[in-house]
A and B are shown apart, each in its own frame.
Chain A
Amino acid sequence: MKKLISLYIIILLASNQLNAQVTSFKNLDGNQKETFRNNLYASSEKINSLECNFIQKQVLSMLSDEVVSKGTMTFKKTERLLWTYTTPYEFVFLMNNGRITTKSEGKTSSFDSGSSPLMKELCKIMVAGLKGDTKSLETSFNTKYLTNGSQIKVVMTPRNKSLGSIFNQIDLLFDAGTYLVSSIEMAEPSGDKTTISINNVKINGTVDDKVFDIH
């Protein structure tokens, strides 16, 4: 019976430990929130170009499956975003001056971003997330700022029904010191979750315009 009680205590401690991890992020109060928000915005304004690698982990809830994709992202002012997947297969996505171009299996297709509100919104989220311009997302999302000391998490919930039917919540995780984004996590109503981890970030390097020429 002693063993049973010990086991119960271990389970209790483990669940407390888990709760502690979940609650380690605390809400930023009014002044702290404003300071971080403004600093993040000021930092984003200085970004003319950004290059990074990413690892995307997608949890398919219905199949208890995880799909991992890898690739690179290149952003250049104003609003040009090249999203290149190299694993599990090559896929290129480009947002350039209101046009979306995709390239898959050597086939290129191009269309106006207005005809795909989902992709337009996704690009807006990615660009804002990469730059740290969370202010630009506040018209579409309610935002909450939390911190664990070294990181700031911006929890965004859609304001309108249309976005809410695609995303339950989007979390952006920033380094509290550098204001650089480290991950973007998207939770969907279907129960799926996609986490894009950003690494090897290069700010304001020389990015040739030719990079955005996709044919």
Chain B
Amino acid sequence: MIKYLTYISLALILCSCTPKMSPSRGDLNPVVSEIAEKPMHFRATITFGNNSITGLMAVKQRSDLAIAGSFTNEFGVKGFDFIYRDGKTDLVYVMPAMNRTMVKKILRRDISLMSGYGIRNIGKLGGDGSCETPETFYPDPAEKGHGINNITVSGSSSGRKKILILEDSRYKLRIDLVSLLPDEE
């Protein structure tokens, strides 16, 4: 009995001491300090042609440096969950109405660009209104001639709010993310 209790105690101690995963492939997955400690919340608008859906996007960088995100509508119904890692996006969950091959393909690509170029650069946006003129993050100005045609990712700030916009003119898709202030959350 006492032996058994000792094993349980040891198991509990070991479980509570699981080491934090060490950062890997830092070049592809740099630390984004703004979302490393706790999730950042955005008011999100996804416009597809003449239709748009609004909701809340929460993003957080995990200990393995992947960026995890959830999009839900205002009533709390989940649209999709994603994990961005090594330049690629996995859609972990997609609501049935959006669960179409083409929709998922476009979402994967656009979330990859929004995460890799928008969210990753969120620290460059002052949050004090100092970046009112949108700065283009994609195509990367340093890599002229590279990048997917017809897609731009830009960022700006309005007051303390940070704004990220992805425009995909080929599919008439636009994603607007406006950060929520701590006192709004």
The answer to the question of B72 belonging to the interface, with a C-beta cut-off of 8 Å to chain A, is yes
Shortest distance from the beta carbon of B24 to any chain A beta carbon, whole Å: 21
Chain A residues numbered 187-215 whose CB sits less than 8 Å from any CB in chain B? 188-190, 192, 194
What is the CA–CA distance of A189 and B6 in the complex, to the nearest angstrom?
Answer: 38
Q: Cβ of A56 and Cβ of B96 under 8 Å apart? A: no
Number of A-B contacts (CB under 8 A): 88
Shortest distance from the beta carbon of B178 to any chain A beta carbon, whole Å: 9
What is the CA–CA distance of A8 and B77 in the complex, to the nearest angstrom?
Answer: 40
Q: Cβ of A190 and Cβ of B56 under 8 Å apart? A: no
Q: Cβ of A87 and Cβ of B70 under 8 Å apart? A: no
Contacting residue for A88 out of B75, B81, B185, CB 8 A: B185
Chain A residues numbered 59-92 whose CB sits less than 8 Å from any CB in chain B? 60, 62-63, 65, 67-69, 83, 85, 87-89, 91
What 6 pairs between A and B have smallest CB-CB spacing?
Answer: A194-B76, A58-B76, A88-B184, A165-B96, A190-B93, A65-B39
What is the CA–CA distance of A85 and B72 in the complex, to the nearest angstrom?
Answer: 15
Task: Render A36-73 as a binary contact track against B, CB cut-off 8 A, 1 for contact.
Answer: 00000000000000000000101010110101110000
Question: Taking CB as reference atom, which chain A residue is nearest B9?
Answer: A4
- Can you give 22 contacting A-B residue pairs, CB < 8 Å? A4-B5, A7-B9, A8-B8, A60-B70, A62-B81, A63-B70, A65-B70, A67-B72, A69-B76, A85-B74, A88-B41, A88-B43, A89-B184, A91-B54, A93-B75, A109-B52, A162-B96, A166-B77, A166-B96, A190-B81, A190-B93, A194-B75
Task: Render B171-185 as a binary contact track against A, CB cut-off 8 A, 1 for contact.
Answer: 000000000100011
What is the CA–CA distance of A58 and B2 in the complex, to the nearest angstrom?
Answer: 43
Interface residues of chain B, those whose CB is within 8 Å of chain A, are: 2, 5-6, 8-9, 38-39, 41, 43, 45, 52, 54, 56, 58-60, 68-70, 72, 74-78, 81, 92-93, 95-97, 180, 184-185
| Given contacts A67-B41, A88-B185, A162-B96, A186 and B81 within 8 Å (CB-CB) | no
The answer to the question of A15 belonging to the interface, with a C-beta cut-off of 8 Å to chain B, is no
Q: Cβ of A122 and Cβ of B77 under 8 Å apart? A: yes
The answer to the question of A5 belonging to the interface, with a C-beta cut-off of 8 Å to chain B, is yes
What is the CA–CA distance of A8 and B43 in the complex, to the nearest angstrom?
Answer: 47
Q: Cβ of A60 and Cβ of B58 under 8 Å apart? A: yes
Q: Cβ of B6 and Cβ of A4 under 8 Å apart? A: yes
Q: Cβ of A62 and Cβ of B77 under 8 Å apart? A: no
Q: Chain B residues near A118 (CB, 8 Å)?
A: 77, 97
Contacting residue for A63 out of B2, B60, B96, B97, CB 8 A: B60
| Given contacts A4-B5, A89-B184, A166-B95, A67 and B77 within 8 Å (CB-CB) | no
